Structure 1
Amino acid sequence: MTPPPTSDAIQHHAFGKSLSESHASVAVPARGFWRRAMAFVGPGYLVAVGYMDPGNWATDLAGGSAFGYTLLAVVLLSSLMAILLQTLSARLGIAAGLDLAQACRQRYSRPVTLILWVLCELAIIACDLAEVLGTAIALKLLFGLPLLAGVAITSFDVMLLLALQRLGFRKLEAFVATLLVVIAGCFVYELWLARPDWGAVAGGFVPTSQIVTNPAMLYIAIGILGATVMPHNLYLHSSVVQTRAFAGEDKRGAIRFATADTVIALGFALLINAAILILAAAAFHTAGRTDVAEIEDAHRLLSPMLGAGAASVVFALALLASGQNSTITGTLAGQIVMEGFLDIRLPAWARRMITRAIAIVPAALVIGLVGEGATTNLLVLSQVVLSLQLPFAVIPLVAFTADRKLMGDFASPVALRLAAWIVAAAIVALNVKLLAGIAFG
């Protein structure tokens, strides 16, 4: 019986390198377990940024203040789903040498590819809207800037991204990791002040049927799912793992190291997400303030309710770091999606300006039309939109990584494939329930 062809044998000659300016730019030592492992640390943290962006803040604050610790179970399950899907994404990038967008263009017809591209761009717009609004809100809270001015200032992160990439992809990863440490430090301080009931916190990680039967809770739960499992992160991860210059014959080792990087980084993101919800539950829900859903309200109330003047400033600082990190990785994802689906090759500055404009223009229009008072509702809605787009990224990913013609010997084993299809089915079912709820009130 003839063995299936390896992924290298079916690489399409017309496909350029994903994220070509950084492709295989990070050297991987030939020997030394720990040196090799450390060379693969980084892509998981770029992806983890998307799992603690301002959209997460909106849904976690709303969930914690309204329902206490109950939705921690959703944060945990969403994070486990995310870890599974992101490991598949890394596996695709390493084994097939294609990012998810390129794989869609290779395997599907032109009309299907264009539809998937449009849906992905809508998800990126929703995600970028959350990130730009989050940064603008943080600038307003820290410096009193109007939201529109803050949105305009976010355009300069394009230049920051270009500068960091010129210094090397490792420098970009180091900058992102530094901001992640800042965010973590801020929440350690906030939780120390809030003094949550850790017994109740532990109980919150156990799922209850109320999450599905309570429509208001379900809406927030699906928003948390959309904020946690990010469609554009699946495209991003399958590309950035290819920045490692590993030997072609060592794909198995590369997949192992990339998986470890993913699990550790997204475990860190889980702790940050849980910390946001725990803070909202401890500071607001237990005090009877179940209506705190606006980020601005949380900022205003934290200092008096926690009894520390620095609490609100630290909260805003963490939000600024989160928004800045997310806009950087969101812009990278926009480039990967455009190049992968459409094979459009533009100068680096032009690509960055286009992807940044896609985020800034809708954010400015929304603020201009509805005013500054509805920003958190828009953040939550953006996460629901992301959740609705998830199946169109997850199902191709699961199918591709199970395909031996594409993946060769690195196709997903049966147990991993089964778990991935269960996750995909759960995501589709939740989305159908959400749409039915919206359609029938």
Structure 2
Amino acid sequence: MSKTGPVAAARPTPRASWRAALALLGPAFVASIAYVDPGNVAANLTAGARYGYLLVWVLVLANAMAMLVQYQSAKLGIVTGRTLPELLAERMRPSSRRLYWLQAEVVALATDLAEVVGGAIALQLLFRVPLPLGAVIVGGVSMAILAIQDRRTQQRFEVAIIGLLAVITIGFLAGLAVSPLSPSAIASGLVPRFDGPDTVLLAASMLGATVMPHAIYVHSALSRDRHRADPHTHVPPTAVARLLRGTRADVVIALGLAGVVNVGMLLLAASTLGGRAGTDTIEGAHASIEGALGPFVGTVFAIGLLASGLASTAVGSYAGATIMEGLLRRRVSVVVRRLVTLVPSVVLLAVGLDPTMSLVVSQVVLSFGIPFALVPLVRLTSNRRLVGRFATSGWTVAAAWASAGLVVMLNLVLVWLTFTSGA
């Protein structure tokens, strides 16, 4: 019997299925830029140079948390048609909204500082550009990237960011091709442990650089804008389920790549920078990488750092605009926001702020902002009245609450150690 006819014609071909799956990828790759920004570079290189493979476990744990968290954020935007900041604003009084926005804005500014400073350092390494001028250049290029972003051109923005992510990956992992690694030491680094207060500070910095508050906020907007052109239109549950399957793949692939890059940076520092003087700054680490592995690897690393700064500051500005629009109900152009938030970074560099230390401290600030984004996210995505059949439950919600608890505990320990040991 022939299999032609309406039923056979309606059955999607494998090629069509692949195209449909690929069409759903993109938002998580944009969000993943937050996980490979210059703050990650500073935290991971410092951890690897000072303590070798000791803190590999922190990155593995943080990346697993990041996958869980980013999927929940994306799901919230797809299912509800609203962003996390919008949903929070609906449940807060005006005074509470403003205070909540203030802490989120501090986190966004800390993020922006790290990203602009990282890009400026890269320009100085590549072209000897003074840091304040480099910050201005990074801001200008990021404004050009942001200019192509709106709901109608979402995919073009995603393609631009994914291209920069490819450069970042090559730039930060190229050195591993010629750097000797120790498999036994890597395995030992997977065992959770600390070695004094400084390693707790670094762990908090690495966690703040890996699980990013602004990425939690913005992923709900990225997924909503990509998959729901009209947030007020009802989407059938079967269509939502299909979007969520594609989103899971998007998150696993994108965050998996970001995790490989982060671990790769720490391994490169552990195998190349250990015992070398001056590796407590990005400039010193770059010089050591260049001295140990050659000028080509050093140049590729600096190019990766530049791409990281450009991409992450564009995504950070997008996140800041999403936060402001949702919590204050005031829409501000992402380009205008980029221009305004660039000023503090330029001023701090102009007055001689130590760039690498500012990167590490900014990541600690971010780690304190994580619970303010993560706790409401877990509550909203497990609320059946809000997300219906797609509510988080079982081991997933338990893991999400455990992640939030771990972050809070780590930050409390960090504060206690800082004030009791003088570290």
**TM exceeds 0.5?**
yes
Distance 1:429 1:356 in 2: 36
User: Match of 2:373?
Assistant: 393
User: Match of 1:376?
Assistant: 356
Which range moved further: 151-160 or 416-425?
151-160
Structure 2 residues not aligned, in runs of 5+? 1-10, 229-233
Distance 2:412 2:296 in 1: 43
1:251 aligns with 2:240: yes
User: Match of 2:168?
Assistant: 183
User: Match of 1:124?
Assistant: 108
Distance 1:333 1:154 in 2: 17
User: Match of 1:296?
Assistant: 283
Displacement of 1:107 = 1.6
Distance 1:436 1:339 in 2: 36
| Residue identity in the other structure for 1:263 | V
SS at match of 2:148: helix
Aligned structure 1 segments of 4 or more residues deviating by more than 4 angstroms: 164-167
1:108 aligns with 2:97: no
SS at match of 1:248: coil
1:78 aligns with 2:62: yes
Distance 1:189 1:386 in 2: 28
Displacement of 1:50 = 0.4
1:57 is aligned, of 30, 35, 41, to 41
1:420 aligns with 2:400: yes
Q: Percent same amino acid among aligned pairs?
A: 38
Displacement of 1:159 = 2.5
> Does the CA contact (< 8 Å) of 1:234 and 1:393 recur in 2?
yes
Displacement of 1:255 = 1.3
- Per-residue displacement from partner, 1:108-137 (whole Å, max 9, x unpaired)? 222222111111110010000000000100
Structure 1 residues not aligned, in runs of 5+? 1-29
Distance 1:269 1:132 in 2: 20
> Does the CA contact (< 8 Å) of 2:139 and 2:338 recur in 1?
no
Which range moved further: 133-142 or 36-45?
36-45
1:332 aligns with 2:321: no
> Does the CA contact (< 8 Å) of 2:317 and 2:337 recur in 1?
no
Distance 1:63 1:188 in 2: 17
Instruction: Please give the TM-score of this superposition, normalised by the length of structure 2.
Output: 0.91
1:161 is aligned, of 146, 159, 169, to 146
Distance 1:421 1:354 in 2: 33
| Residue identity in the other structure for 2:337 | I
> Does the CA contact (< 8 Å) of 1:67 and 1:290 recur in 2?
no
Q: In structure 2, do the counterparts of structure 1 residues 324 and 253 end up closer, same or farther at CA, with 3 Å as the change threshold?
A: same
Q: In structure 2, do the counterparts of structure 1 residues 356 and 233 end up closer, same or farther at CA, with 3 Å as the change threshold?
A: farther
Displacement of 1:95 = 1.1
1:357 is aligned, of 330, 336, 340, to 340
2:127 is aligned, of 114, 138, 143, to 143
1:411 aligns with 2:397: no
Q: In structure 2, do the counterparts of structure 1 residues 215 and 239 end up closer, same or farther at CA, with 3 Å as the change threshold?
A: same
Q: In structure 2, do the counterparts of structure 1 residues 166 and 387 end up closer, same or farther at CA, with 3 Å as the change threshold?
A: closer
Distance 2:302 2:139 in 1: 20
| Residue identity in the other structure for 1:255 | L
